[in-house]
Structure formats: structure tokens, C-alpha cells
Structure 1
Amino acid sequence: MIRLTLFLILAFAAACSKPQPVAPEGVEQMTVTLSPQEENILATWQLPEAVTEFSFNEGDMPVSEREADWTPQGEGWVFDGQTLSREDGSDFQEFSFTLPAASMFYDRYYVPASKVGKGGWVIFANALAPAEGDFEVRFEGLPESNVIYGAGEITSPDETRDGNTLGIFYVGPAENLSMEGGILIAGPEIPDAIRTDISDNLENAVTKLTDAWEYAPEIPPAVIITYDRNWHGQSWKGGVREEVITFHLRGFDLSDNGSNFAAQLRNTSLHEAVHVWNGTLFESSENSEQSWVHEGAAEYIANRLWMDEDIFNAAVQKALNGCILRLGDHSIRDTEIASWGQTPYRCGHVVHLAAELSALQHTGKNVLGIWKDVYDATGDERVYDSATFVTAAEADGGEPFSDIMTVFNEGLTAENRAALVAHLNALGADIVPLTPEDETSDETTLSVTVLRELLIDYCDGGYGFTQMPEGFALETAQRCGDALAGDPLVSSLNGQDLLKAPVAVYFAVREACKAREPLVLTRADGTELEPLACPEGVASLPELYNVRSAGTLPPL
């Protein structure tokens, strides 16, 4: 629960501010004292007893990143990114590191430290943790106006916090915080339009989900945004831990951000807000095995909360075609396929569309009503699984949903793909086969799919390429033979532009394969590469669909 309102924070901090106490000798628990500076953080570890070496928790921060970025203070230290010791082997009970803002992003890891505005920092407490044992976090030298936000609590920097539960936390000026339904933490470098967009949509989501489900999380969602315009290139990293949603934006001109970028931030915020309910307040016992349930729900409900009809139809088309391409004829119960990458998001989205369309006809319930039934069925343990969801969706949607769930359980063979579309159309959707002339919101997804299947065949199961402004830079010199040697930058395939006409590319290669004609990649400079025979993965690309209407869905 948020214990202080924003207007009380400054008064509280001013009234309670006092010199930071120094940990006495013989402390029973490790403490980390943080002294944020303008460009880095001085972090001092005080141990309950002297040791000859200290090891960090290696599960939450890459050893290579800690070794590259973190600098021990003083002489005579030996540090390999994981373990710290003295050169002479002597024991120690205190040591310090200088922690800068993260120099790069790493896959699957939270950003350990990043700046928020002037004087603010967002820090991942687990990056400070020892390999074993508990620890506390203290703060030193902060202005009286600074606050700490972490684990749903806003406190004065004079208060010691539990490092094991602090998670992703903010330390810095109180003016970077705003509270509208949830918490938004962002510096003045983030344009008001983005701040307002996320705050308004988050407030709307929290209000609607709480009203519909009658379960309110003890800790509302919090969004933290960091930004560096002068980054090496353009990139952004999102993440969520418990109730905290983070966006680390780098290199973009936010004053001229396009609607697609703003929409992506909005949708991700709402997606993760839904997870505060179906991943934190309630828990899936099949978190990784049947992730189409909770990931599909989060994505579908997020879309429904803000998208207008046209945008939502495009999102359904992306989900339907993405599910067809990724799941193939495998069952949605096949963990190895259905819970990998984007598959649970795409297929789960379509399952939830089917559940809502069926329920609206059968009982008049919308998707929030279905999930209210899921939550109500969990009992005191508040744990659900795929069977809990399917039981609720079948009770609310009747036989139409059961028929569609059977299709997903069997897998999307050609016959079942046609059956799925027929079932959705019977529920009020208007879905027809995609044609070369149709536009798609998938951007380059179809071109990426074709290139991936093409390279997998010629590169012994591996592939690599990077999208560039002029086309796709293939990473093929070392593994794909003479035909694709030299890591070519390609812009078209069989005469169709890979960036501007992905639908036309998709149809062109299917037609070439059907006619047993070669596939020809063309460089950005107009030079054609050696023709390639059509591989099985490309020849078997399925028919895709145009979603002209997802059906009649009242606003949530």
C-alpha cells in the first residue's frame, strides 16, 4: 500500500531528515550505504564480520557487466566481477564501489542502475546483494527533498530499507513522482505528452480492472522511465518486477516520437498492469508451461483498454497470422512450441478474442467478466491454471468456445486454420484470406519470417540478420556457403521490397515455390545474388488472413 501521498512526502522528509547513522561494529546484517552523486553512485558495503573474500549474487546481474562498470575504491583490491578480495589475502569488513549508470543493456537482466532526470536514480537492489544472506540498504548525503520509492512504499531517505524486498527502486527528487491510479516516475526530460499518456491510461486501467474484478492489489502499478538522448545508437529495454514497470529509452528524439512508439509504451504499460492481477495478486501454477493463458490475457486486455476499432482489428490480424506462423500444426499445449517467444502472446490473444465473442453471445460477459470468474474460482490460495481459465470460458461462452479450444488443442493444420476462421466469423468477425494487395500492420514481420525460413535451410538451422534503413544485413559469411557469402545487405526478394512490401514479398515467394522457380535476393545497390532453390520451410508457408472486423466488442 502506498503509505504517503505526494504532498506529504516533502513535509515528511524535511521533518525527519537527520544525519545518516553509521553502522556500529559487530552489526548482525550486511548493509549497503548508497550516496548518489550527479554521474555515479558511491556504494559502501559493511559486513557483519571480517572476511577474506566477498561474492555477489550472480543470478541478477551479468558478471561481465559488473566487472566492466563497477570500480572498487582504493588500492590493493582484486575483483573479477563476481568475487572481491585483497591482493595480500588479508581480511576486510568494509569496501566501496563506484557505480555508474549502465553502459549497455543485457538480455534477460534488469538494468542495475540508471539516471532519472537530475539527481534521480533507479536501482535494482538485487544487483547489490551478496551471494548468500540478507542485507539492508541505507542512504547518505541526500537532499531533504529526496524520497525513496520501492516495494510500494514511499519513505524518507533517512529510513533503512530491506534490500531483499526492495526490488527495483527509485531514489531522488520527489517532483519526479506523480500518482494517478498508479505511480509514474520520470524526469523532466520526458515530454509531458508521454507522461500524460501513460498516467491517464494507467489510471483508467487500474480503475476499470479494480471495478470489474473487485480485487485491488495492495500495491498499485508503478512505471519508471529513464532516458538518454546521447546514447550510442537507438534502443530501448522494458521490464517488470512485481508491480514496477520500467522503460529505459535511449537515443530516440522523444520530442518527435511517432505515434507507433508512444502506442508501444502505452500498451506495454497496460500489459504489465494486467500482470499485477494475473501474475502477482493471483498466480498461475503453469507460469511457463501454459503461458498463453496469462500472457494472452495481458496482451488482449491491454489492447481492449485503449485501442479503437481499426487499431484493434489490426492487432487481431497480427495476432492471428502470428499464431498461425509460429504455432503451426503443434498443439497449444505443446510447451516447447507454444510457450516460446511471441507464440503465447499471439495465440493467447486469439483464444481470448474467441472467449469474449462467445461469452458476449452466450451470457453477455466481456473478457473482464470471464477473468472475474477465473479469479473467483481460485479460492483462498489464489492460484489458477489453464483448466481454470478454460472452464470459466466454456461456462461463459458455451459450445462455440469449446469448439475453438478443440482446434487449438489439436494444432493449426490447414484444415483447422480454416475451421478457426469459420468459427470466429460465425461469432461476428469478418476474416478473409489475405491478398497481395492488402496492407498489414505487421510492418516487416512477414519479410522477417520469409528470411528466417530461407536462411535456416541454407545455414544448417541457424540464421542471423539485422534490419537496417536500406534493408536487411545478413550475417551469413561464416555459416551459409558461397551463395550468401559476404554478409550482403539485401533490400528485395523476387522483385518485392522487403521493408516496404512485406505482404507482396510473402506472396511472391509462395508463388515462386509453387512454380518451382528460384528465389533471388537483391542487394541495396541493385546487384542480384545467386539464385536459391526454394527450401521446404518457405514452400510450406501457410495462407494468412485479413481481419476486416474482429466482431462487435463493446468498450471495456
Structure 2
Amino acid sequence: MNWLNITKIKTAISMTLSLLAYFNAEIAWANSQAHNDSSPANILIKVEKSTTDTSEKWVVTYTLTTPAKTLAFVRNPDTSRTTRWFAQDNDIEIVFDNVKHQELVRSKSGRPLSTVSFLLTPTYKHLGKDYAPFSPFSDGGNAFHSGRLFACANTCTEEDNKWHLTLNVPSDEHIVLNGKVMKSSVSWTDNNDGRVVYVGKQQPIITDNVVALIDPGFPESIKASLEEDIPNMMAFFSHSLNPLKGEKPMLFASYANVDDHSTQGGTLPNQIFMHWNRQDLNEQADNSSFVNQTLWFFAHEVAHLYQPGSTEGVSENEEQSWLHEGNADYFAAIAMNFLYEDANSYVESRMTRAFESCTEGLAQTTLARAYKNGHFNLYYSCGMIMHRAIDSVVQQKTLGEESLFTVWKRLQKVVNSGMSPGTATFLTLLEPYNAPELIKAINNATSDDAFKAIQGIETLYQLPE
């Protein structure tokens, strides 16, 4: 596939580019300022980057307005803070509470905590079903996930959803926050899942569609694809679902160029980030299989951007991850078939492999338990088969007037109006199509009975007949 020879987008999709252009960086900055006006939380978080000729240091400092016995972190995908965060006071340590499944900061001597500082390890670390703490760029820049820093005094409750952060960087570098470039220092109030923030010397590329930070170390073909394919995919989903509202989306694409083979992507509201923690992209760039895998990777992450709000806006819990991950994979398949004529055979092979992977995996665990048993990939493979079946049935029942996109636009609407996300709401939206066999098969596929689950997926793979 020629990365530069992108299939011409249909007129309707081209028109949506003008809609995306409406959301400019000044709106993003206004939203950032609105956050700054919020009242501060009871913990102040300061991040400071300093550099020497040969190294860089990232230090995070927590200042508690009221001393506490411990500091509890909000996000705890593993125990890696215990080995990657280094206390700047010998009396302070990070331990993992096996009962709470949570990392905690405490004093070895038992004294109350008022101010604690840690030297961070600013390298990429894969965190299962969470965002990487750092995504280094090949030119020395770095992007970090602010949500990784969120912590609470003693314990976190549902009411704890506001953190005041300050970031200081060297004078020859700058910060990119919410699409705006700032020098030296910035403060903001953060919430929910946080955001990705860039620190370095690279200036963002600002287009009609996106504010982008694309690693200068990428091979030219991949840089061209990021600059052209991502906007085309965004246009496709804007037309098929709904245009994004608010800030102009930000794209972070980083390439560590290190001896590894990891690739990870993710989305936060109005942000897409992709990281390649490897060093073989020059060799892989002309490999057609790698090209298709990369386009699928792009399309999957862009699809997430157009789902309702966030992961929590789609699924109630981990076992329902087939909703957002399976949907993103199936939407990636649709986008690739539409945008790239020569990708059809690749997409079909992905669908076949997804069915095989799903049925093989369900013989070992069910979707209800997959996230606990280390089989999170089943939410992608089984979920894609389920969404493919839904799309086929909806199109058949409406003689092509509606599709899976119609269902997801309705899901966006009902979730935004206050209905709970999750399987129950999603299945309610399928009831008007009078497809009891479809709903029964989905219920079987998501049940905790392995035989029923496999039977359900096999039925879904054959629908409609």
C-alpha cells in the first residue's frame, strides 16, 4: 500500500472536515482556564523537570493541606511505582496493599505526611489496561499522563475527583497543554482520567482537524500516514457518528527508538496517543502487513475518540469491555474497508482470526471472567464478532436504512441524557429491531457459562442467515 496515495474521501466526508476546523486551539485554552478557576483540592501536586548535559530528572512533590497517615493512589494497575518512584526522604516508602490492591505512600517511622517527593523514571512502561506514565519522543521530548499522579489523603472516595497540578520545565523547553504552548510553568486543575501533557522542544502541528505532536524520528512514510490518515479517519467517524465537540483533538505520536517491541495506543477526551517503544520502524515501514496493522491501530484509536465520553461512558465494568473494545475494532474494520480498497482482504482475515481467537479463548474462560484471568484480548475479538452481527441484523431489518452507527449514535444520545452505560442500556436500543435471536445470542455470549458463550458466538458469527 502506498502511504501517500490515500483513497479519495467521498464528498460527504470531506465536508465534515470543515466542522472539525471550527474547534480551534483558543477554545481549548478557554476550557483550560475554566479548569484553573476551580477551587483547589486538598493535595497540591507539583511536577518539575530539570536537565543536565547528560541526563534529565522528573520529580513529583505532594503537599497536603492537612497531614495524613498515608497517601493513596487513584490508579493502581500494578505495583510498578514501588520500583520506579524513588522517595527523596529515606523515611518515606511506597508499598502495595494486597487487601486494597492499591499502592500507598507511608512513613516508615509512622509520622504524618505533609510533603513527600519522588524521583520518577521517565521511560515507557506498559500498564495493563491503563495509560503509560511516560511516552518518550526520540528527540528528547516526553509526554506524561497526569492521571498517573492522582492521589488522595488516606483513602480515595468517589468525591475525590479534583487535583491541582503545577508543572515546571527548563527554560529551553515548553509545555503543550490542551492544545496550547506554554513556557516555563503552568498550573491547572485536573479531574476524571486526567490528560496527556507534552514537555520538550517540538512545536505542535496545528491543522484544521487536529493539534499534532508527531515524533520527528518516524520514517517519512509513517509521518505522512499520521498526517493524512488520521484526519481522514476522523472525517469518516465524524460523518458516520457525530462530530466532536469542544476542544480541537490532540494527537500524540511518539517513537522511543529503543530495543523493545511494544506498541500502545489510547484515548482520553479529545486526545489520541500512540507510542512505539521499538527501534525497527525503518525496516517495518514498507512491510504491507505492518502497514495494515498500523492503519488498524490508528482506526481503532480514532474510533474510541468518537465513543460516548470515555470508557465509562460505554461500559459499566471490565467484563463489559466487549462493548467499547469490540466496537472500536469493528469500526476500524468498516473504516479500513471504506478508505482503503486494497485492505479488504486484510480486514476479512482479521475477522476470521477474531472468530477463531474468540472461540478458542472462550473454551478457557468466559467474558465475565476474562479480565481477571489475563484474557483481555477476548473483549476485542469476541466484541468485534458481536458488533459485526448487530450491524448485519440492523441493516437487514431496516433494508439498509440504518446500521450499527445508528445504534451508537442513539447510545451517545441516551448516555449523554443521563441513562446508565452498559450492556442493559445497549440491548434496550436493539429491541425496536425485533431481533430476539440476536439478543439471545449476545446474552449467551456474555454469560458465565462456557458452553452457552461459545454457542452464542457461533450463532452471532453466522447472523443474519
Q: Normalising to structure 1: TM-score of the pair?
A: 0.59
Match of 1:407 among 441, 460, 463: 441
1:375 aligns with 2:403: no
Match of 1:120 among 121, 128, 141: 141
Match of 1:343 among 367, 378, 383: 378
Partners in 1 of 2:65 and 2:396 — Cα distance? 67
* Higher RCO (C-alpha 8 Å, min separation 6): 2
Instruction: Deviation per CA, 1:433-475: give whole Å up to 9, x if none.
Output: xxxxxxxxxxxxxxxxxxxxxxxxxxxxxxxxxxxxxxxxxxx
1:540 alignment partner in structure 2 = none
Distance 1:369 1:28, change over 3 A: closer
Give the CA deviation at 1:175: 2.0
1:81 alignment partner in structure 2 = 94
Q: Residue 63 of structure 2: SS of its match in structure 1?
A: strand
1:395 alignment partner in structure 2 = 432
1:246 alignment partner in structure 2 = 273
Distance 1:191 1:63, change over 3 A: same
CA contact (8 A) 1:52 1:85 kept: no
Count of residues in correspondence between the two structures: 394
Partners in 2 of 1:422 and 1:113 — Cα distance? 43
Match of 1:206 among 202, 224, 234: 234
1:234 alignment partner in structure 2 = 261
In structure 2, runs of 5+ residues without a counterpart are 1-21, 30-40, 96-104, 154-159, 338-342, 446-450
In structure 1, runs of 5+ residues without a counterpart are 10-26, 427-556
Distance 1:57 1:421, change over 3 A: closer
1:298 aligns with 2:325: no
Partners in 1 of 2:181 and 2:360 — Cα distance? 49
2:316 alignment partner in structure 1 = 286
1:322 aligns with 2:338: no
Give the CA deviation at 1:317: 0.8
Instruction: Deviation per CA, 1:251-280: give whole Å up to 9, x if none.
Output: 331111134334334323332332233342
Question: Which moves more between the two structures, 412-421 or 314-323?
Answer: 412-421
Instruction: Deviation per CA, 1:67-109: give whole Å up to 9, x if none.
Output: 445362xxx633433547699x999976654434227545455
2:423 alignment partner in structure 1 = 386
1:154 aligns with 2:180: yes
Give the CA deviation at 1:327: 3.0
Q: Residue 426 of structure 2: SS of its match in structure 1?
A: helix
Q: Residue 73 of structure 2: SS of its match in structure 1?
A: coil
Partners in 2 of 1:251 and 1:213 — Cα distance? 34
CA contact (8 A) 2:175 2:197 kept: no
Give the CA deviation at 1:292: 2.4
Partners in 2 of 1:329 and 1:179 — Cα distance? 47
Distance 1:30 1:384, change over 3 A: closer
Residue identity (%) = 17
Give the CA deviation at 1:304: 1.0
Distance 1:354 1:185, change over 3 A: same
Give 1 or 2 for the bigger CA radius of gyration: 1
Distance 1:79 1:265, change over 3 A: farther
Letter in 1 for 2:347: F
2:387 alignment partner in structure 1 = 352
Give the CA deviation at 1:305: 0.5
Partners in 2 of 1:422 and 1:263 — Cα distance? 26
Distance 1:251 1:52, change over 3 A: same
Give the CA deviation at 1:31: 4.3
Question: Which moves more between the two structures, 372-381 or 60-69?
Answer: 60-69
Q: Residue 162 of structure 1: SS of its match in structure 2?
A: strand
1:432 alignment partner in structure 2 = none
Q: Residue 253 of structure 2: SS of its match in structure 1?
A: strand
Q: Residue 224 of structure 1: SS of its match in structure 2?
A: strand
Give the CA deviation at 1:300: 0.3
Letter in 2 for 1:323: C
Partners in 2 of 1:261 and 1:30 — Cα distance? 44
Distance 1:335 1:55, change over 3 A: closer
Partners in 2 of 1:114 and 1:71 — Cα distance? 22
Distance 1:81 1:314, change over 3 A: same
Distance 1:183 1:100, change over 3 A: same
Partners in 1 of 2:151 and 2:416 — Cα distance? 37
Partners in 2 of 1:170 and 1:276 — Cα distance? 19
Letter in 1 for 2:258: N
Distance 1:303 1:58, change over 3 A: same
Instruction: Deviation per CA, 1:152-178: give whole Å up to 9, x if none.
Output: 442423431225564332122342445
Distance 1:393 1:259, change over 3 A: farther
Letter in 1 for 2:406: G
Letter in 2 for 1:101: P
Partners in 1 of 2:129 and 2:414 — Cα distance? 33
Partners in 2 of 1:382 and 1:294 — Cα distance? 17
Distance 1:234 1:361, change over 3 A: closer
Instruction: Deviation per CA, 1:216-259: give whole Å up to 9, x if none.
Output: 2434554323323233x433344444444433322331111134
1:191 alignment partner in structure 2 = 219
CA RMSD of aligned residues (A): 4.1
1:141 aligns with 2:170: yes
Partners in 1 of 2:26 and 2:233 — Cα distance? 20
Distance 1:246 1:317, change over 3 A: same
CA contact (8 A) 1:36 1:119 kept: no
1:277 alignment partner in structure 2 = 306
Distance 1:251 1:28, change over 3 A: closer
Distance 1:84 1:119, change over 3 A: farther
CA contact (8 A) 1:28 1:48 kept: yes
Distance 1:415 1:104, change over 3 A: closer
Partners in 1 of 2:77 and 2:386 — Cα distance? 36
Partners in 1 of 2:196 and 2:76 — Cα distance? 12
Letter in 2 for 1:40: E
CA contact (8 A) 1:201 1:306 kept: no
Instruction: Deviation per CA, 1:480-537: give whole Å up to 9, x if none.
Output: xxxxxxxxxxxxxxxxxxxxxxxxxxxxxxxxxxxxxxxxxxxxxxxxxxxxxxxxxx
Letter in 1 for 2:276: L
Q: How does 1:453-468 map to 2 (within 5 A)?
A: none
1:518 alignment partner in structure 2 = none
Partners in 1 of 2:316 and 2:143 — Cα distance? 31
Q: Normalising to structure 2: TM-score of the pair?
A: 0.69
Give the CA deviation at 1:214: 3.3
